[in-house]
Chains A and B, each alone.
Chain A
Amino acid sequence: MFRRRSIQKIKERAIENSLLLSALSSIFITIAIVFVLFYEAIAFFKVVTVWEFITGKQWTPLFAQPKFGILPLVSGTLLVTSIAVGVALPIGLIVAVYLSEYAPFKIKEVAKPILEILAAVPTVVYGYFALLFLTPILQKFIPNLSGFNALSPGIIMGIMIIPYVSSVSEDAMKAVPMQIREGSYAMGATKFQTAFRVVIPSAFSGIAAAFIIGISRAIGETMVVAIAAGMMPNWTWNPLEPIQTLTAYIVGVSLGDLPHGTLEYRTIFAAGITLFFMTLFLNILGFWFRKRIREVY
């Protein structure tokens, strides 16, 4: 009896420790990501100066006379992201207000799973759609739109990230206590006035977090732009031209057979570390906003 109990105790401890080990694995993953990115990027920056990297306006690492300026990739990324965000933020917010304040129960029951599925469709399918469906249609209205461009994948990406924006915003609005709404209604305000002047300001932190998550998604999105935006590093803000994003560059290089350890191989890690820090910054900002929601109520 006594021995059985001590064996059990050992077993309990062993289980707890192995569970802890699993939980720690996530930290190892992060460390591994940072280590791999830094390891290869540092080797890259031994050859290319950081200054050339962040100020150069030409990105032609595979040419005979290579140029390593990241700006065209960053501008491409930001251009597509701004188009996507321009679509996703207003629509996402309207959807969130509608679902949280207006929609009857039945519509909500149907709309939410559909939005979920919208976020689940493989991005390569969206890429196909942007390149072979939306671009030809847009070309009818904008004759000088090139076959590969930033506009069409930007719009598709925007619709794709609506669910991310709307679901987090909606959660934030739902967290606003009912009394605040009732107070507003008691003053004779309409639903519209209550939603936009009372609920949205009260849920500001959560909505900001939702926006940031949306932006971060757009920056990290790969396949839609790799397929439909072209593969041309282009220092431009014109959405009608072909461009290349940081993510699309990594994909483009990986498709070829790059020998391990060469400078060209390391360029994808240099692009990756740029991407990693852009999204890390946004994620931390978003996390901070989300933490603030919990503190307010």
Chain B
Amino acid sequence: MISEDQTIVQIRKNIARNELRDHLFSIIGLVATLIGFVLLFTLIIDLLIDGFPRLGWQFFTSYPSRFPEKAGILSAWVGTTLVMIVTAATAVPLGIATGIYLEEYAKRNWLTHLIEINMNNLAGVPSIIYGLLALGLFVYFFKFGESILTGGLTLGLLILPMVVIATRESIRAIPNSIREASYALGATKWQTVKDHILPYSMGGILTGMIIGLSRAIGETAPIITVGALTFIAFLPSSPVTAEFPFLSFKWLFDPFTVMPIQMFNWVSRPQKGFHLNAAAAGIILLIMTLVMNGFAIYLRHQFRKRIKW
């Protein structure tokens, strides 16, 4: 009898210990999840303390300067905007077309398989390798030079896998009954894609596109590799002209700088004044990515809520 009591005591002890472990882990798990949050929070506070006083009208409308208090991000934000236009114009059509092909047209053969594996692999190639590709291909082979066109194309290729993956995922979510209904009414494949598949998957594609662009905005390494300058005290030529045809594409071939490069340049300088500028540029960059990601998350949420198959 005594030994049986002891066993029960032993078992109770075991259970208590296991439950304690269980509780402990749920706390550890929560703490681990919070680490990222704490980092993000500290980061924002740190940037705000250093950089907030620098944020003023003058900061947005000045060129870089030898004097930290006179320097600004005019050429950087204009450069970022123009590069992003080229990036979006490259990655979005190419990415959506690839996604549509892989989901709606591709037959299950070796070529499709190869494209898929390759896409997966491209998504894992470090961004700086894209910079080297662009240096060899766009700068020296196609002779685009160290221009906005080169920068935009480079980032476009970089985010292409993201757009493709987003497109494929949202197309895959459309049930087959939609396609069958369209075919039953005599629509061709392209008509089905254009009138049904694309509109219904637009939410997911848009989300992927925004997230991709937000990543491209923050990319620094490949743009440094293609030779974007850190000190640009002029603007690219204007895309709108006074004379006919009112549009000019000369800006595509102008040298440029972008926000993250401007920030990098300021961080690398020893003077404290430039560090404050870097923090201010960091706030702008952070706001850009937070707003874009927040918008993407919101969009995804909305589309998920609205569409019920």
What does the 1/0 interface line of A161-192 toward B look like (CB < 8 Å)?
01100000000000000000000000000111
Bound form: Cα–Cα A132–B127 in Å: 24
What does the 1/0 interface line of B27-45 toward A look like (CB < 8 Å)?
0111011011101101100
Considering only CB atoms, which chain A residue lies closest to B264 in the complex? A124
B12 proximal to A (CB < 8 A) = no
B133 proximal to A (CB < 8 A) = yes
What does the 1/0 interface line of A240-273 toward B look like (CB < 8 Å)?
0000000100110011000010000000110010
A20-B221 CB under 8 A given contacts A33-B133, A103-B33, A117-B290: no
Determine if B267 and A36 form an interchain contact, defined as CB atoms under 8 angstroms apart.
no
B282 proximal to A (CB < 8 A) = yes
**Chain B residues within an 8 Å CB radius of A103:** 29-30, 33
A123 proximal to B (CB < 8 A) = yes
Determine if B106 and A23 form an interchain contact, defined as CB atoms under 8 angstroms apart.
yes
A280 proximal to B (CB < 8 A) = yes
B124 proximal to A (CB < 8 A) = yes
Which candidate, A48-56, A64-72, A212-220, is the interface stretch facing chain B? A212-220
Determine if A27 and B114 form an interchain contact, defined as CB atoms under 8 angstroms apart.
yes
Q: Closest Cβ of chain B: how far from A283's Cβ, in Å? A: 4
**Chain A residues within an 8 Å CB radius of B161:** 26
A15 proximal to B (CB < 8 A) = yes
**Chain A residues within an 8 Å CB radius of B279:** 128
Bound form: Cα–Cα A32–B218 in Å: 24
Which residue in A95, A227, A276 is a CB contact (below 8 Å) of B264? A227
The residues in B between 245 and 268 inclusive whose CB is less than 8 angstroms from any CB of A are 260, 263-264, 267-268
Considering only CB atoms, which chain B residue lies closest to A125 in the complex? B282
Q: Which of B35, B36, B131, B225 is packed against the most chain A CB atoms within 10 Å?
A: B36
B179 proximal to A (CB < 8 A) = no
Determine if A26 and B101 form an interchain contact, defined as CB atoms under 8 angstroms apart.
no
Determine if B105 and A16 form an interchain contact, defined as CB atoms under 8 angstroms apart.
yes
Which residue in B36, B46, B121, B160 is a CB contact (below 8 Å) of A115? B36
**Chain A residues within an 8 Å CB radius of B50:** 132
B173 proximal to A (CB < 8 A) = no
**Chain A residues within an 8 Å CB radius of B18:** 190, 192-193
**Chain A residues within an 8 Å CB radius of B101:** 16, 19-20, 22-23
**Chain A residues within an 8 Å CB radius of B98:** 19, 22-23, 25-26
Which residue in B47, B126, B290 is a CB contact (below 8 Å) of A219? B126
Bound form: Cα–Cα A26–B122 in Å: 8
The residues in A between 44 and 92 inclusive whose CB is less than 8 angstroms from any CB of B are 91
The residues in B between 70 and 122 inclusive whose CB is less than 8 angstroms from any CB of A are 93-94, 97-98, 100-102, 105-106, 114-115, 117-122
Determine if B33 and A99 form an interchain contact, defined as CB atoms under 8 angstroms apart.
yes
Determine if B221 and A111 form an interchain contact, defined as CB atoms under 8 angstroms apart.
no
Which residue in A117, A193, A216, A275 is a CB contact (below 8 Å) of B40? A117
B137 proximal to A (CB < 8 A) = yes
Determine if A192 and B22 form an interchain contact, defined as CB atoms under 8 angstroms apart.
yes
Q: Closest Cβ of chain B: how far from A213's Cβ, in Å? A: 7
Determine if A8 and B188 form an interchain contact, defined as CB atoms under 8 angstroms apart.
yes
Determine if B190 and A15 form an interchain contact, defined as CB atoms under 8 angstroms apart.
yes
Bound form: Cα–Cα A121–B227 in Å: 23
Determine if B218 and A94 form an interchain contact, defined as CB atoms under 8 angstroms apart.
no
Considering only CB atoms, which chain B residue lies closest to A33 in the complex? B133
Determine if B32 and A94 form an interchain contact, defined as CB atoms under 8 angstroms apart.
yes
Determine if A128 and B227 form an interchain contact, defined as CB atoms under 8 angstroms apart.
no
Bound form: Cα–Cα A285–B294 in Å: 33
Q: Closest Cβ of chain A: how far from B62's Cβ, in Å? A: 20
A42 proximal to B (CB < 8 A) = no
A289 proximal to B (CB < 8 A) = no
B170 proximal to A (CB < 8 A) = no
A250-B94 CB under 8 A given contacts A102-B25, A121-B289, A222-B221: no
Determine if B35 and A91 form an interchain contact, defined as CB atoms under 8 angstroms apart.
yes
Residues of A within 8 A of B (CB): 8, 11-12, 15-16, 18-20, 22-27, 29-30, 32-33, 36-37, 39-40, 91, 94-95, 97-99, 102-103, 107, 111, 113-118, 120-129, 131-133, 156, 159, 162-163, 190-193, 195, 213, 216, 219-223, 226-227, 247, 250-251, 254-255, 260, 268-269, 272, 275-276, 279-280, 282-284, 286-287
A-B contact pairs, 5 of them (CB 8 A): A22-B97, A95-B29, A118-B36, A122-B219, A222-B221
5 closest Cβ pairs, A-B complex: A220-B126, A122-B218, A98-B29, A36-B136, A22-B97
Given contacts A98-B28, A113-B297, A250-B225, 13 further A-B contacts (CB under 8 A): A12-B189, A23-B101, A102-B26, A107-B30, A120-B215, A124-B285, A125-B43, A191-B22, A191-B26, A223-B264, A275-B126, A283-B125, A287-B120
